[in-house]
Amino acid sequence: MPYAIRLTGQTLPGVATPEAAARLAALFKLPTEKAAALLGGQPITIKTGLDEATAEKYLAALAKAGVAATRLSDEHPPTTDTPSPQAAAPDWTIAPVGVILSESKAVAPPAVDLSGLSLAEPGAILAEPTEIPEPKIDISGLKVLPER
C-alpha cells in the first residue's frame, strides 16, 4: 500500500520555528524562506507513493529536524482544505449519489385567474396599426436673438 508524508505545518514541542525551518531547508536543500512557508500552520503533502519503510525514514528525518509530520495512506488522500488542529470540525459525511436527503413538500398551485385571457394563433396580428398624427406645435411666437 503506498503512503504519503504530510507536514502538519507545526513544529514539534520545544522546537522554535526558525530553527526547524533551517533544519528543514538543509534536509530538502530549499531556501530557508520556502522551508519557513511550509511551517506556516497549514498542512501540506510533501511526498506521495512511498513504501512503508521509506515513509518511516521520512518521518524519522522530519522528527529529527523538529518538524511535525504524519504518514497517510495514498488510497484516500486528504483534501487541501484540511482544518488546522485547533479548529474542531463536526464529523460529517457526504451522502451517496442518488439519495433523497429530504422529502418534497406538496405546494399548492398559485391562485391566478386566467379566465379573461386567450391565446391567438401563431402569426396572428394582435392589433391593427394606427396612424399617429404629427403634433401641431405653434412656434410662430418664438424668435432667435442675435449673438452678443
Cα–Cα distance between 72 and 85 in angstroms, integer?
16
Average pLDDT over residues 64-89: 67
pLDDT exceeds cutoff 70 at 77: no
Is residue 12 a contact partner of residue 68, using CB atoms and an 8 Å limit? yes
Domain membership of residue 89 (yes or no) is no
Residue 81 lies in a domain: no
- Residue 106: inside a domain: no
Scanning the structure block, which residue is given the C-alpha cell 413538500? 105
Residue 88 within any structural domain of the chain: no
pLDDT at residue 79 tops 80 = no
State the pTM of this model. 0.49
Write out the residue range of the structural domain in which residue 59 sits: 3-73
* Cell 451517496 sits on residue: 96
* pLDDT confidence bin for 85, thresholds 50/70/90: very low
Return the pLDDT at 103.
85
Domain count, the chain: 1
**CB neighbourhood size of 24 (10 A):** 24
In the chain, helix, strand, coil percent, each to 5? Answer: 20, 15, 60
Rounded-to-integer distance, Cα 112 and Cα 116, Å: 11
Is 97 inside a domain boundary? no
Quick: pLDDT tens for 37-48: 888 878 888 888
What CATH number is attached to the domain comprising 56?
A: 3.30.1390.10
Instruction: Give dist(CA 26, CA 39) in Å, integer.
Output: 14
Q: Residue 26 domain-assigned?
A: yes
Structural domain contains residue 33? yes
Q: Give alpha helix (H) positions in the chain.
A: 17-28, 32-38, 52-65
pLDDT of amino acid 42: 85
Q: Is residue 52 in some structural domain?
A: yes
Does 18 have pLDDT greater than 50? yes
